[in-house]
Each structure stands twice: as C-alpha cells, then as structure tokens.
Amino acid sequence: MFVVRWDCFSFALVFAVSFILSRAEVCNGGRTSSFVRNDQLSNDMPLDSDVFQVPPGYNAPQQVHITQGDHLGKGVIISWITQDEPGSSLVLYRAENSELKSSAEGIVLTYKYFNYTSGYIHHCTIRDLESDTKYYYEVGIGNTSRQFWFITPPEVGPDVAYTFGLVGDLGQTHDSNRTLTHYELNPAKGQTLLFVGDLSYADAYPFHDNSRWDTWGRFIERNAAYQPWIWTAGNHEIDFLPDIGEVIPFKPYVHRYHVPYKASGSTSPFWYSIKRASAYIIVMSSYSAYGKYTPQYKWLEKEFPKVNRTETPWLIVLMHCPFYSSYVHHYMEGESMRVMYEPWFVEYMVDVVFAGHVHAYERSERISNIAYNVVNGLCTPIRDPSAPVYITIGDGGNLEGLVTEMTEPQPSYSAYREASFGHGILDIKNRTHAHFSWHRNQDGYAVEADSLLLHNRYWTVSEESAVAGM
C-alpha cells in the first residue's frame, strides 16, 4: 500500500503535463509512412525448417502452448500433442522456490478433417496458482518428457504494471519467423501475447491441409510454451469446406486451442473475457452471429456493465475484423458489427481495440460514429474523448503478403498507417497511463516505428473533456 500526498504545485504540474500529453495524443493525426519495404510475397517455410522440427523420442510431446485458465489469472491451460499414442495427460508442476511437485490431470481428444487424422491433443488446466510466481511444468513420460516454465501475473489491481505483446495474422512464412523473433528479442519483454486471429493459414493449402496446423504449433512453441497467448478466432480458422464434407466451422481451432470461456459466463469459446493484472480483456468474435439477441450479443450486453474500472482500469477489446480501416482490402467489412457495438465501446469507455484481418498496421484517433442513423447524414467520424483508439495489427507475416493499397486521401480519423510486418507492445504503467509501441521487423529490436501514450478513459477522460471545453 502507498500514500500519495498532493500539494498545489504538484497538482498544477501534473495537470499541465496531462494537458500537454492529451493534446499530443489527439492531434498526432493523418500520417502515412514513407517507409519503403519489400512487398514481395513470402512463401511458407519449408517442412524441413528447424522451427518445424519434431522433438526427439518416441511420442514426445510437441506443439506445447499455454493460455490463461480462469478469469482471474490464477489458472493456466497447458496444451500439447502426442503423435503416436495418447500417452499421459498428466502435468507435473512446482513453484520455482519449492521442490514439492503437484500434478493435474487433463483430457485428451482427436479429430478428423477430410483425409487427415490429428494426433492426440491434450488440455490440462492448473488452478489456484500463486500470483507473480515462476512455475516449472513437465509433460510427457519417461525419457521423452519435456519441461517448460511460465510466470503467473501479479494479483489483479488498479496500479499493477504489466506488458502485453500484440500479434495478428501470423502464418508460418519467413516473415512470420522474423515477426516472432523480433517480438522475442524486444527489450520491452511482453509477458503475455494478445493474438488477434488468423493462426496457421492451413486453409491456403488443398483440402485445408491440417498438417500445416501441426507445423504452426511447433513453430510457435518456442514462445507459446512459456507465456500465455490469448486467442481470438479469425476468418482463416473457419475451415468450413462443405464440398469435401467439412461442415462444422472452426473444427481444427476449437480442438487445438482451448480458452477459459465458461469462467466468464460465455457459452462459446469464440467470445469470452479475462482479467490480467490491471487489464480487463474482452474477446469478441467477428465470424459468429453477433446481431441483436444472439448469444454473443446477450453475453456482451451483460459483460460490459460487469467491468469494475476501480479494480481493472484498462478495458481492452480484441477482435479480428477492424471497425475502422483505411486500406482498400477488406474495406468496411466490420461496418455492421461497428453499428451494433460501437455505442457500447463509447458508453463503457473502452481504452483500446486491437484487430487484425488487414495485413498492415494502422492506428486511429479517438473517434466515434455513433450519431449516424442512415438518414441524418452524420456519416463522418468525430473526435470523441470517450471512444477507444482502434489499432489494426494484422501484420504478422503470412503467405498472403502485405496490403499496400490505401484509400486516398487519408481519412482524418487515421493517425498513422504503414504496410509493413511487425508486432505491438502495450506497456501498462498504472491506472492512468500506458504506452503502446509498434515495431516493424526491419528495424532494430528497440526501435519504435510508431508509439502513443494512452490516457485511461475511466480515470482521465473527464479531466481531458474539461480541458477540451476550455
């Protein structure tokens, strides 16, 4: 616990600094990067690449990855695949400061997709972990067991600092490998990765070759086995192919990537929420029914009012298809969802919305278009201090390449845009401020190609509104 003592000079100084920063935030608009990039398509890495290697030993666990396992961050879902036989679904784990091992038993499942049969997919949830603690965990049997580790987040609280990474539309090309390497070597050191959809791009292959789900799982293991990846489903996870008898959407995705959706009262793994440190993260599904009275709508209608901003000040939304984008490809695909949910984003003062889908980077001003009702002609987004910043970060590096064609002139709501591959870092400082940075692959690891100091909507918007009205 700490006590802050204010005097008149301190308050005036902080107010002046906040005014300057808030002005910088809303006035830095309308820039298109002049960075010249290689926009040639990148092929998927060959199957014999070292990043796809199967771990040695009979039935050795592979494709190990973790995600949050409950609503509060005290649980972890550990997932892996054994190729030859089911083996054991047991996870042994211990805290770094203890020699006492605990165990948890998971489940195992398989699926078939056209002429492909999966390996044995294991999911094990560990609960009631200590906060801010390093844990070692072990999966597999005997000589082929493998050990990894993770660090649990601090207790949920309003001034808990925490750093998130942002990646979307990753795939498994040479550019994908550069993106993941760049993220891993970033000095900011993301502690949890928020993934905004489009994972393996296995659907780019004939019959949606599901062996490319396996190569992707082995590719990301080097990071996803050690820090949670928070999953969002994209269009490349749909895998709906009735011509070959595959009529169940998202089949590979839901079998391989489990999320703690029931912990937030959701009825589907495609929309759910978690708390982590000082953030409340809501995951939405762009490719599930979202109209009025649908299950997703009814869940979101109850979810937004539940967020306690005195406990988790930062309200973050993840989705795949962006509401605002000034790129030609996928232009306005998110418009019907925007009409449905943007009023809630403004009402509940969402701080930032991260999306993918468009294979480029773009950051918006704080704007809204909730006044538009088709007949009133108010169709131009306006500055709105209660609105989120919208960030498109679908620039992971997949085989479809970059989207380079942009609408001209650049809309006033678009603050910065660039067609390059990269990743983002959201560094939450306290309840009032966070720093977002975007890092293009071609730069040094510490270089910020674009950045923004974010002012929390709940804790600072009233002050900014008062300043704006002066």
CA distances from 462 to 27, 367, 386, 466 (A): 18, 16, 9, 6
Q: Look at residue 266 and give its three-state secondary structure.
A: coil
How far apart (Å, rounded) are the C-alpha atoms in residues 217 and 211? 10
State the residue for tokens 């209608």.
Answer: 301
Question: CB neighbours (10 Å) of residue 149?
Answer: 13
Longest pairwise C-alpha distance within the chain: 73
Name residues whose C-beta falls within 8 Å of residue 219's C-beta, 6 or more positions apart in sequence.
Answer: 45, 51, 52, 172, 176, 177, 180
* Secondary structure letter of residue 242 according to DSSP: G
Residue from 4, 29, 9 nearest 412 by CA: 29
How far apart (Å, rounded) are the C-alpha atoms in residues 63 and 216? 8
- 31 backbone dihedrals φ, ψ, rounded to 5°: -115, 130
Report yes or no: 422 and 439 within 8 Å, Cβ to Cβ.
Answer: yes
Residue from 445, 411, 106, 118 nearest 256 by CA: 118
Q: Would you please indicate which residues are annotated as catalytic (active-site) residues?
A: 330
How far apart (Å, rounded) are the C-alpha atoms in residues 287 and 203? 16
